[in-house]
């Protein structure tokens, strides 16, 4: 029992140190946030996307064709599947201020819930107060570019993440309804459909069927409500990629965005893009399925989300939510959870490497590094540094896709932490 008690005390000491480091990080990130986003790029975008949603819903309720809507003084219209307009109906009620408050409160609640889901298991494993850990993690998540931009534009990304992560919890608990959240998210926006493929390649046939059936049912409901809108979307609007904006913009951090900036003013090579997309999907889904088989559902779903952001033609910064759970996985490794591997890796080396990755990803997304280099790729400013800076997000996501480890299950992790040393003179095999 003595070695176990000593190990438990050591774990608590490491946990206290980690919490102190997190507190210092909160102060540092807050200072960096002020310097960057008050002086360089304000975080509030007047909920512009919310106004597009609301305008489209009100236009549609007046009996007009949904995909004919264009926000006045812009070239932007409604780009989501028809089922999304049914989910966004509450935004048409009351004034724009009412809609802004509604979407901000809903997204803030989603951020609080999802962050608690992500942080609570590592906190409990280390004996940390869960409430305190969540209270530290929420401001850190809020500072990261995808979260901040989602709130600033009035986007729905945090609500979609809530649906997907609800399925992570359902899968971990063996719930029969697991897959419904992913199905609803895929019916609202196409990108989450890749999570259905993740369920298939990881051998979860029932959740995959539930997800596909839910998406099909929601899409069929939209077809019944407005057949014309559904026909227009699936035959015409879906393929008009220009409806969502110019892929060359710095804000587009997908593979296609990177290639478009490198090739400008010429169009990007679509064959190269297709090959890179195929490679990302193959590697990402293989690694995600392997993470799931090793018992780390969160790592699997996170790798899939990163792959979806990379392969979609347009991935605005507010789409990149999946770096948030990636940081949580890395932070869990940095504070003592071993990776799920057959090789025995030095605990200190794992902790240092994962901690450095947390710092790098947090700094890049917390300080919105891409905006310091906006336009450098197209205009050839600052050479390689400009290219790497403006395209930092897809490069970081690609690195996470390839290298984000699966973690050992909680029971296995505890066994490694508390197991007594072998008897003197023996050699492990």
Q: Quick: pLDDT tens for 18-38.
A: 556 656 666 555 656 555 555
pLDDT over 60 at 427, yes or no? no
Angle at 370 between CA 367 and CA 372, to 5 degrees: 80
Q: Positive or negative CA dihedral for 302, 307, 310, 311?
A: negative
What pLDDT, on the 0 to 100 scale, is given for residue 75? 79
**Does pLDDT of 409 surpass 90?**
no
Q: How far apart are CA 229 and CA 66, in angstroms?
A: 6
pLDDT, one tens digit per residue, over 67-87 is 999 888 877 889 999 999 999
**Whole-number pLDDT of residue 206:** 96
Please name every residue paired with 316 in a beta bridge, in sequence order, or none if there are none.
252
Give me the sign of the Cα torsion angle 240, 317, 138, 7: positive
Give the 3-state secondary structure of residue 177: coil
pLDDT tops 80 at residue 278: yes
For residue 14, pLDDT over 80 is answered with no
> pLDDT band at 48, cuts 50/70/90?
confident
Say what the pLDDT of residue 37 is.
57
Q: What is the mean pLDDT of the chain?
A: 87
Residue 235: count of CB within 10 angstroms of its CB: 9
Read off the pLDDT of residues 284-299 as tens digits, 9 standing for 90 and up.
999 999 999 999 999 9
pLDDT for the residue 72: 85
Q: What is the pLDDT of residues 207-218, one digit of tens each?
A: 999 999 999 999
- Cα separation, 108 vs 158, whole angstroms: 8
Residue 93 has pLDDT above 90, yes or no: no
Q: Which residues of 101-110 are buried (b: 16+ CB within 10 A; e: fewer)?
A: ebbeeebeeb
Q: Three-class SS of residue 316? A: strand
d(CA 216, CA 193): 11
State the maximum Cα–Cα separation within the chain, in Å, rounded to a whole number: 83
Instruction: Identify the weakest region by mean pLDDT among 85-89, 127-131, 243-247, 334-338.
Output: 243-247
88: helix, coil or strand? coil
């Amino acid at each position: 029992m003595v070695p176990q008690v000593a190990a438990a005390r050591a774990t608590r000491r490491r946990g206290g140190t980690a919490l102190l480091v997190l507190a210092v990080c909160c102060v540092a990130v807050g200072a960096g946030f002020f310097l960057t986003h008050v002086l360089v790029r304000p975080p509030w975008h007047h909920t512009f996307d919310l106004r597009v949603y609301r305008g489209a819903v009100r236009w549609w309720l007046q009996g007009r064709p949904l995909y004919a809507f264009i926000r006045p003084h812009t070239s932007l219209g409604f780009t989501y599947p028809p089922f999304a307009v049914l989910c966004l109906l509450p935004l048409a009620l009351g004034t724009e201020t009412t809609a802004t408050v509604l979407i901000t409160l809903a997204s803030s609640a989603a951020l609080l819930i999802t962050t608690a889901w992500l942080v609570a298991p590592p906190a409990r494993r280390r004996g940390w107060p869960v409430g305190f850990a969540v209270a530290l993690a929420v401001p850190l998540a809020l500072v990261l570019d995808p979260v901040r931009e989602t709130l600033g534009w009035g986007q729905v990304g945090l609500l979609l993440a809530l649906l997907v992560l609800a399925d992570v919890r359902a899968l971990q608990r063996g719930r029969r309804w697991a897959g419904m959240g992913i199905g609803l998210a895929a019916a609202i926006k196409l990108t989450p459909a890749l999570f259905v493929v993740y369920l298939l390649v990881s051998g979860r046939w029932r959740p995959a069927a539930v997800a596909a059936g839910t998406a099909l049912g929601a899409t069929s409901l939209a077809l019944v409500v407005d057949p014309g809108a559904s026909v227009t979307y699936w035959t015409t609007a879906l393929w008009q990629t220009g409806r969502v904006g110019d892929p060359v913009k710095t804000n587009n951090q997908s593979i296609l965005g990177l290639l478009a900036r490198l090739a400008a003013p010429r169009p990007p090579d679509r064959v190269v893009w297709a090959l890179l997309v195929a490679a990302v999907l193959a590697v990402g889904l293989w690694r995600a399925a392997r993470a799931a088989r090793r018992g780390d559902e969160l790592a699997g779903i996170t790798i899939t989300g990163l792959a979806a952001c990379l392969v979609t033609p347009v991935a605005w910064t507010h789409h990149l939510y999946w770096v948030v759970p990636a940081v949580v996985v890395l932070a869990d490794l940095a504070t003592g959870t071993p990776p799920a591997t057959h090789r025995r890796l030095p605990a200190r080396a794992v902790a240092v490497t994962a901690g450095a990755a947390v710092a790098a990803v947090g700094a890049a997304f917390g300080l919105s590094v891409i905006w310091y280099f906006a336009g450098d790729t197209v205009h050839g400013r600052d050479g390689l540094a400009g290219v790497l800076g403006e395209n930092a997000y897809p490069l970081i996501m690609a690195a996470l896709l390839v290298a984000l480890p699966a973690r050992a299950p909680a029971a296995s992790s505890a066994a490694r932490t508390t197991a007594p040393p072998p008897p003197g003179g023996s050699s492990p095999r």
